[in-house]
A and B are shown apart, each in its own frame.
Chain A
């Protein structure tokens, strides 16, 4: 189903049941296109570098790359106001960069160094920033959905105007606590956007092999939560859906689901050979739907940037990533005394 949906690219669709229609695709201004380009490129280059450092043995354990899905966090971030929270599972590097966490801090956490965001004690899957309202970085599939609902509970308790962006994948969408959370969020009208990043594979299991209902925007139907399917490869479609969803939440309507139809180019983690899908499938997504290439093509077409100007941006981004990697490889490991800190306050 999701695969079929992907054959018709670009336009977002309403689920037809919610009474919410899909937002009209918004045209970006020049500044928005350039910002989206820069932010997505940072994630792409950062993840490529992380993959490289993993291969060199600088990064250990699990490492889940976000390459291919950059438009989702980038477009959603463009719809936020100060104080809005974000929480996700373990494919989280892109989310952290989108929330403006320092590339050095993220990369040094990947290498387990003292300058890492969690002082080397969290690793790839567990990073947080109170200051930037990023609440992790969670290693247990689905657990972040209840937690993100709790962030929305706090917004509602404080009667502020903020929204919790709670991300999870098509795999987590089959966890029981997701539906426990949907029920409470709808019952209590909590300001939470459930963003289902449907990249078509829960590790190696395709959505059609794992899910009885593969239209994830319908997953809130039993809880009266409206849902919208969004072309998650088009940053403009994501931004438009994000604007609509944040407005919906801020108006006190309760939760909303955005199914982002996206794709990860790399394996589930570094150790995944991805034999459950064809090379052609991956190649087709890369050539026809790449989120960064789409923006680049529009920038050139509209003459908002020359190839040279884009190369300058590329170089700036590469420099940021190189600096982060340099720092992450050379920073010291945590002091042994760190073993015993931050257990209880």
Chain B
């Protein structure tokens, strides 16, 4: 039977890609290992190798097609004795073709990467009416930008502005960033300011802090915050405490940034949210944006801030687009939550990727006649409790959503503070929704179970609104 060649997933979070070029024509003989096509993701261009032998019977997706979903049949391979007439009798989906060596810097997700199977597709955020951010002047032109581009633009703008700002980390320069956040920076700023480090997190975190103590303004990229566990002593004992221990004489103006939390199917050691961990520490500021506008405005603020900043990004959000104001110098205040959507019946507080659950739940709740207010914390430390409490005083109900572990979570702290400061305004217990209290499993179904979901948020809202 003819074999269907499917659009392969080239990274754990890839949902779709562009079929940029066919390297074989219909009728060409193909042996396993032949490069048959080139596929472009938002991070890189990859070659696709044939896994089976045969003749390329029919090309189903033309070169130049954009947004081809993973697992879509892209061509049909005929085996010995088969002809074009057999097409249509294809065997059940053949395995996706194996991604071959990268042409452009590959979308290597990290140094532990091996060939990865297709990722569970993650739905894009639904269109929720985003409330105007009072920090953006009314009438400002907005440009649709991915979180990835917003982060890169923020770094580039600050590096243009201040010669003391530099980036260091694994694969940030020549490789253009493991997740392509530093794309183009080496070309613009050169190797003095865009510094590839060896795989040595503890060491380069300390080197960064030392450089910051000497007055430079490093941006230290961790390929993921999971690897920053190697470096946590330097972050906490050296970066966060020096200002206090020196009686205010010297501190560390440094940004530690990189993807945090679960991506997709990378299991326990690569899927952990550090928001609660770092927010425990006096001397640190912890920022965790959801939208591209916040990513840009807050990263610029973080680079200018004289304190050590933990800037927690999320791989799944990198490719998502949001409106970013077109301003020459867009800087947002650290420590201020943003009301993502106003509402009157219940307050849903979240941050980072947790916002995706809140936003989807809110859309469904609207259908049930429940008008939810969504607060995006944006900064975890210092925590904008005033905004939360003002909202609770209005809605009298509070749900907190995050992906991190439940014990001593950000939500726990918020629930505690609200119970102390606004107890009389609560008409129901505060419900905290978090990831499950388990190491992240690998299996797709278990991973889904381990993360929060929209249904949980809806159920929680129904519970506190007594529906």
Contacts and interface: CB of A to CB of B under 8 A. Distances in A.
Contact of B210 (A127, A154, A176): A154
Interface in B12-39: none
A122 B205 contact: no
B166 A181 contact: no
B192 A157 contact: yes
B207 interface: yes
Given A128-B245, A130-B249, A147-B213, 9 more contacts: A127-B246, A146-B206, A147-B206, A149-B206, A150-B213, A151-B214, A180-B206, A343-B244, A345-B251
B12 to A, nearest CB: 28
A121 B243 CA distance: 10
A232 interface: no
A148 B210 contact: yes
Contact of A150 (B200, B202, B210, B307): B210
Interface in B163-216: 166, 192, 197-198, 200, 202-216
A255 B154 CA distance: 34
B243 A150 contact: no
Interface string B116-137: 0000000000000000000000
A85 interface: yes
Contact of B202 (A119, A137, A180, A343): A180
Given A150-B210, A183-B203, A118 B249 contact: yes
Most buried by A among B198, B238, B245: B245
A340 to B, nearest CB: 10
B456 interface: no
**Chain B CB within 10 A, most for which of A120, A184, A344:** A344
Contacts of A149: 203, 206-207, 210
Nearest to A127: B246
Contact of B206 (A129, A177, A183, A343): A177
A187 interface: yes
7 contacts: A85-B214, A118-B245, A126-B246, A129-B249, A135-B214, A180-B198, A345-B307
Contacts of A10: none
A303 to B, nearest CB: 45
Given A157-B192, A183-B198, A146 B249 contact: no
B8 interface: no
Contacts of A137: 245
Contacts of B206: 143, 145-147, 149-150, 177, 180-181
B33 to A, nearest CB: 37
A190 B68 CA distance: 48
Interface string B291-309: 0000000000000011100
Contacts of B247: 116-122, 342
A157 B244 contact: no
A278 B123 CA distance: 71
B301 to A, nearest CB: 13
B282 interface: yes
B162 interface: no
B134 to A, nearest CB: 24
Contacts of A150: 206-214
Contact of B198 (A130, A136, A187): A187
- If over half of A's interface residues share one DSSP class (helix, strand or loop), that class is named, otherwise mixed; here it is mixed
A90 B166 CA distance: 30
B250 A135 contact: yes
B81 interface: no
What 6 pairs between A and B have smallest CB-CB spacing? A150-B210, A146-B206, A180-B203, A119-B247, A154-B214, A147-B210
Contact of A146 (B210, B250, B282): B210
Nearest to A339: B244
B325 interface: no
Contacts of A181: 203, 206-207
A334 to B, nearest CB: 9
A139 interface: yes
B71 interface: no
B285 A344 contact: yes
B233 interface: yes
A178 to B, nearest CB: 9
A138 interface: yes
A153 interface: yes
Interface in A213-228: none
B238 A180 contact: no
B2 interface: no
B242 interface: yes
B283 interface: yes
Nearest to A123: B245
Interface string A150-173: 111111010000000000000000
Given A157-B192, A180-B202, A342-B248, A135 B237 contact: no
Interface in A302-345: 341-345
B210 A135 contact: yes
A203 B289 CA distance: 45
B200 A344 contact: no
Contact of B243 (A146, A180, A344): A344
